[in-house]
């Protein structure tokens, strides 16, 4: 082989080698950049610890990895109904703490008479639909219990148990509340117009 040809071959080989080195370098550069981008998106923070990038939208936490975690916002404000308590005046000059029946979902407010609350019997109590009714008048802090069926002794016991539960107090304290227990003349003419009292309180009428 001619010396000139050998020199051409060597020169070509050197050129190819240089070209391969350049291509390899470029490839390594792009691979390195891609790896750095992946690490940043993955959440590596400045001190080398893993940080999970999150976006919170509409109550959901969404990771860059594509996994969504539902979030529930809750309020821990003051509870209503049977959870809260209010104070009412008694006949003995004391103040009694009872369950907040005014904000209890089971209590109805009288729209025609503001400040009056219906604890039992509905807005139009009738012997056909309920055995008794319980009405609270806020202005005088008085509970009115009306017995609408016979036997009124048993009906009074039912009304007492319901009111004890709704107010969350003892029998002794309930005796100190401002209240009246009555019966319409159409139900019992003999006891009509009298305050029968709670059966467990001093001075109650025995039925």
pTM: 0.60
What value does the mean pLDDT of the chain take? 76
Per-residue model confidence (pLDDT) at position 60: 38
In contact, 179 and 145? CB cutoff 8 Å: yes
Strand, coil or helix: what is 160? helix
Tell me the mean pLDDT in the region 178-202.
97
Q: How many CB atoms lie within 10 A of CB 15?
A: 10
Q: For residue range 100-138, list pLDDT tens digits in order.
A: 999 999 999 998 999 999 999 999 999 999 999 999 999
How far apart, in whole angstroms, are the C-alpha atoms of residue 34 and residue 96? Answer: 73
Question: Does 193 have pLDDT greater than 50?
Answer: yes
Q: Which tokens belong to 33? A: 């950049």
In contact, 110 and 123? CB cutoff 8 Å: yes
Q: How confident is the model at residue 91 (pLDDT cuts 50, 70, 90)?
A: very high
| pLDDT cut 90: percent of the chain above it | 57
| pLDDT cut 70: percent of the chain above it | 60
Q: Which tokens belong to 39? A: 């690490």
Q: How confident is the model at residue 92 (pLDDT cuts 50, 70, 90)?
A: confident
Q: For residue range 41-52, list pLDDT tens digits in order.
A: 444 344 343 344
| Environment class of 56 (CB within 10 Å of its CB; exposed 0-12, middle 13-18, buried 19+) | exposed
Look at 4-13, 123-132, 161-170 and tell me which has the smallest mean pLDDT: 4-13
């Amino acid at each position: 082989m001619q010396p000139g040809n050998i020199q051409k071959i060597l020169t070509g080989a050197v050129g190819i080698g240089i070209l391969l080195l350049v291509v390899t370098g470029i490839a390594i550069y792009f691979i390195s950049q891609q790896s750095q981008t992946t690490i940043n998106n993955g959440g590596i923070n400045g001190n080398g610890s893993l940080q999970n990038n999150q976006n919170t939208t509409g109550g959901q936490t969404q990771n860059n990895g594509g996994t969504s975690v539902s979030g529930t916002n809750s309020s821990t404000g003051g509870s209503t109904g049977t959870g809260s308590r209010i104070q009412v005046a008694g006949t003995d000059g004391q103040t009694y703490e009872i369950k907040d029946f005014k904000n209890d979902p089971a209590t109805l407010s009288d729209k025609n008479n503001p400040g009056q609350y219906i604890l039992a019997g509905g807005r139009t109590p009738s012997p056909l639909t309920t055995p008794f009714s319980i009405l609270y008048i806020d202005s005088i802090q008085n509970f009115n219990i009306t017995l609408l069926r016979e036997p009124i002794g048993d009906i009074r016991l039912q009304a007492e148990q319901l009111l004890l539960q709704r107010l969350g107090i003892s029998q002794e304290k309930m005796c100190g509340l401002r209240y009246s227990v009555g019966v319409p003349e159409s139900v019992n003419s003999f006891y009509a117009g009298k305050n029968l009292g709670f059966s467990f309180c001093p001075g109650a009428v025995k039925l």
